[in-house]
Amino acid sequence: MPNLFKNKEDQEVRIGKPEWLKTKIASGKEYRETKKVVKEHKLHTICESGKCPNQSECWGAGTATFMILGNTCTRSCQFCNVNTGKPEELDPFEALRVAKSIKLMGLKHAVITSVDRDDLPDGGADAWKRTVELARKHNPELTIETLIPDFKGEWENLQPIIDVKPEIVSHNMETVRRITKKVRVQAKYDRSLEVLKRLKEGGINKTKSGIMLGLGEFDEEVLETMDDLRSVGVTIMTLGQYMQPSKKHLPVAEFVHPDKFAFFKEEGLKRGFDYVESGPLVRSSYHAERHL
């Protein structure tokens, strides 16, 4: 099976992507209109910042995943393409621009995520709350999914998000327990589980999480992660292929075959998840409207 590995000189050797990972070039009226809204309203999207392989499909359908709290993250996860460094000051008008853009795009369901802002006393929790409130004020029929950080385990910062009760609240495990430290340098596996547990206990009915495959995990570890997520009440799970954004990021250990993704979907449903989105090109917000 094609993969990336290191030779004796410890230099990465890149093998071409398999056919199932090839995507279409962005085009079409809906794509252009979505791109125009994003640009004119000075919005950040994880679609662009994260080099999502589904950008063409999603933008072509008039959907995008909004990223708030700026475009610079305080963490340096080894899989993520978002800029890392000292963030800019919070933009007081960002929430309003997101709300108005949702209206302009005619969205019925919106997914909102953010960079990590460990530099802020509340981790950006109040900005999160304001964004959801304004999105609903300008779009009364809107349903919302929020993909949130772990707030460094400062649990009082979860409360503003619980208070506004997004229809779905997501927090990604990203990988299995054994390699979490390598993949998410400043995160902790058990802390992420605790985030999801506290959301459920706080009254969020639909909680969601996702992991990437192809980072060197074993099948048994993926199943263990599924069991851990079910133990804290998570009902929606996504599994997708990790793809190296640049040479500075972790190499791909394996390009996982679609049949294996189908196997994990079946296993997830057996374990009681209400919905499992599993496939090479799946990302956290892929087909998010279906998860509701």
CATH code for the domain of 181: 3.20.20.70
Q: Is residue 84 part of a domain?
A: yes
Task: Report the pLDDT value the prediction gives residue 6, as an integer from 0 to 100.
Answer: 40
Q: Is residue 54 part of a domain?
A: yes
Structural domains counted in the chain:
1
Q: Is residue 14 part of a domain?
A: no
Each residue of 221-249: pLDDT tens digit? Answer: 999 999 999 999 999 999 999 988 888 88
Each residue of 172-190: pLDDT tens digit? Answer: 999 999 999 999 988 999 9
The model's pTM is: 0.82
Q: Is residue 144 part of a domain?
A: yes
Element (DSSP H or E) covering residue 83: strand 83-84
- Is 193 exposed, middle or buried (CB count within 10 Å of its CB: 0-12, 13-18, 19+)? buried
Q: Is residue 3 part of a domain?
A: no
What token pair was written down for 140?
Answer: 């009364």
Q: Which domain holds residue 120?
A: 22-291
